A and B are shown apart, each in its own frame.
Chain A
Amino acid sequence: MAKRRVAIVGTGQTHHRSHRPDVNGQELIHEAVTRALEDADLSIKNIDAILIGNMDHFEGINYVDCWSIDGSGGYHKPVIKLTTGGTTGSTLAIGGYHFVASGMFDKVLIIGWEKNSESDTTGAITTAFDPVWDRLVFAGAISGLAVEAQAYMAKYGATDRDGARVSVRDRKHACNNPYAQLRKEVTLEEVLASPMLADPIHLLDVCPRTDGACAVIMASEEYAEKITSTPDWIWATANRHKYTYLGDVNWGELDSMAQASQDLFKKCGITEPRKQIDVIEMYQPYSFAGIIWIEDMGIVPRGKGAEYIWSGATDMGGELPINPSGGVIACNPIGATGLIRCAEAAMQVMGKAEGRQVPDVNFAVSTGFGGCMWTDMILHGKKKPNL
């Protein structure tokens, strides 16, 4: 376990939109940073170091850590860039935790951002894959997700109606979140009647393209308790970026989630995740993942994901609400998305989630997804973790 405790003491995010022509990238970043500093009642002078990330080819800017200084507040501060694709936001949060836990810094500002409106998102994601082997046929995130859903359906007999139920849940939850981009309830029939993008994924099964930024402030124990009376303690982090080639993936199960969860829960003594965890903010870019990945996380046994979703257990007011924010289906500024999950989980623990607050949250899990079916995970807690 860590040498010293680390907590989230403030969060900020933009009101996410499909297109923000009113601001440039630095200004978008600055909005989120300002809100996080306000939330923690700190000034940029109090920040020791900055971690920032996005995916380069969405905006076409090289050395974003250097370019973003005016927005991030990194002038004459340590600034470092972490990027791992879709997992970038969660990777940044895990990075901030380690920099503070190490004693190298006491207070760090973590920033994830993306202006997906500035390029063709699918084209840019396609360039994430091997130029020689994968790029010809790959069609961005949707194609990779569609083959996962196909494999799972063939194995466990799930239907596109099951997938649609998850979309209905997240889109309903998003109505409680003023920062979400898409805030409109949909019905099962509307999801199923929406255009087929890549079998079995309909338009309303997947995330939109988004411009947005998120900022999170982490502090060491010594400072955290002075900054806020309700710090969100980071209990542990775990991740698996298992695969280099898409063809190696065990399609239909998310191995990286299964292994990262086991690692995470073992570190924290979580033995019955379904009972011990109060809320999950999952980087779930499309509906079927809401069924498959809770099985990998060990919330329900294999093949039982759909049944659990239909029971209403993951809806607001249920046994284990998932994505009270509306999740990724309601908004996906890619480099920020994983960090938004982290920020939303922190808000749940801190009791700051307002209209989307789940009562009495002791433990929350936030996740990141991206790359070649990779997973990042963070366990957040109201009580201090043991050292």
Chain B
Amino acid sequence: MENIEYIIIESGKAVQPFNYSVGMYGSKFFYELKNNRKFLGVRCPKCNKVYVPPRRVCGDCFVEMKEFVEVGPQGTIGTFTILRFAFIDPETGTQKPIPYGYGFIKLDGADTLFQHYIDVHDESKVKIGARVEPVFSEEKKGTIKDILYFRVID
């Protein structure tokens, strides 16, 4: 075969926009977050586990959950990492600013973990088991971005 330089075809700026339904459970969570800056979980009638984010079905028990309960806003770090490598954020198409703290937070009263950013301004304070609280954005949009990040309580 000939020695040729291989051609690469770029897709261009193709995007596939979506309108994701969050359903009744997600909508309730975001209204509460937006209007009252509070977190809602939902309790399983069978195993009593409190799930955040709230959703219809308890995966363990396969039953419908209906009892909303307030959780947080404070919690403890369940586990975390600090991202230090650059990658393209599929939400924006641009490089994600690094480093950033990526945390799983056990909000007080919840049995599952809630994902969000953790402030890593002082990395020495960020540990599994550390107490954290949310910092909210000024703007109230009713999305996950209404929370800017969680920070360790001194």
Contacts and interface: CB of A to CB of B under 8 A. Distances in A.
Nearest to A23: B6
A121 to B, nearest CB: 8
A259 interface: no
B79 A151 contact: yes
Q: Chain B, interface size: which category?
A: 35 or more
Interface in B111-125: 112-117
A200 to B, nearest CB: 8
B72 interface: no
B20 interface: yes
Contact of B104 (A131, A147, A196): A147
B102 A139 contact: yes
B151 interface: no
A362 interface: no
Interface in B38-93: 51-53, 55, 59, 78-85, 87-91
Given A139-B102, A147-B102, A247 B112 contact: yes
A248 B51 contact: yes
Given A122-B88, A134-B115, A151-B128, A143 B83 contact: yes
A78 interface: no
A122 B87 contact: yes
A92 B90 CA distance: 28
A139 B26 CA distance: 22
B11 interface: yes
B90 A123 contact: yes
Contacts of B18: 131
Contacts of B81: 143, 146-147, 149-150, 198-201
Given A132-B26, A197-B85, A139 B96 contact: yes
A21 B79 contact: no
A120 B87 contact: yes
Interface in B94-117: 96, 100, 102-104, 112-117
Nearest to A206: B85
Contacts of B90: 120, 123-124, 126-127, 135
A247 B71 CA distance: 15
Interface string A110-133: 000000000010111011000111
A179 interface: no
A105 B90 CA distance: 41
A124 B90 CA distance: 7
Contacts of A137: 100, 102-103, 115-117
B78 A151 contact: yes
Contact of A197 (B26, B53, B80, B84): B84
A136 interface: yes
B8 interface: yes
A244 interface: yes
A243 B117 CA distance: 21
Given A123-B88, A146-B81, A198-B84, A136 B112 contact: no
Interface string B11-33: 10010001010100010000000
A154 B77 CA distance: 12
A151 to B, nearest CB: 4
Q: Interface centre among A124, A127, A149, A245, by most B CB within 10 Å?
A: A245
Contacts of A246: 104, 113, 115
A60 interface: yes
Contacts of B51: 248
B79 A252 contact: yes
Contacts of B141: none
Interface in A236-262: 242-249, 251-252
A123 B87 CA distance: 7
Nearest to B8: A21
B102 A136 contact: no
Contacts of A248: 51, 59, 112-113
Contact of A198 (B83, B112, B129, B143): B83
Nearest to A242: B59
A276 B23 CA distance: 49
Contacts of A318: none
B85 A195 contact: yes
Contacts of A251: 78-79, 104, 113
B102 A150 contact: no
Q: Interface centre among B20, B53, B85, by most A CB within 10 Å?
A: B85
Nearest to A249: B113
Contacts of A242: 59
A309 interface: no
Contacts of A135: 90-91
18 contacts: A122-B87, A122-B88, A123-B88, A123-B90, A126-B87, A126-B90, A136-B144, A137-B100, A137-B117, A139-B96, A195-B84, A198-B82, A199-B82, A199-B84, A201-B81, A244-B55, A246-B113, A249-B113
Given A132-B26, A133-B115, 4 more contacts: A123-B88, A147-B79, A242-B59, A247-B114
User: Which 3 interchain pairs have the tightest Cβ spacing?
Assistant: A146-B81, A122-B87, A21-B6
